[in-house]
Homo-oligomer: A and B are copies of this chain.
C-alpha cells in the first residue's frame, strides 16, 4: 500500500462547484477495490486550497482509477476551475494508523 497527496488550488469563484464535483468523485473512488482511503480536505486558512489523500492497495491501482468514468468526469469538470496545475506526490507508509 502507498499514498498520494494531491494538492489542488482552485480559483475562488469555483469553490462550491469544485467541492461538489470532488465529493462525487471521492465517494465513487473509495468504492474501487484498489483504493483504501480517499480523504478530501480543505485548508483552514485558505478555502481555495485542498488536498486529496489517496491510499492505494497496489502499484496498478492509480492507473485503473484514472480509467474510471467517475475520475474522467471529475477531471473534465474541474480542469478549468484550477488556479494552477495540481501536483500529486507519492509516498510510502512508514506507519499507517488508519484501520481498514
Contact = CB atoms under 8 A, between A and B. Distances in A.
Interface of A: 2-3, 5, 19, 22-23, 26-27, 30, 37-45, 50-51, 53, 89-100
A51 to B, nearest CB: 6
B98 A44 contact: no
Copy number of this protein in the oligomer?
2
Contacts of A26: 95, 97
B91 A44 contact: yes
B41 A3 contact: yes
Contacts of A3: 39, 41
A71 B99 CA distance: 23
B51 A5 contact: yes
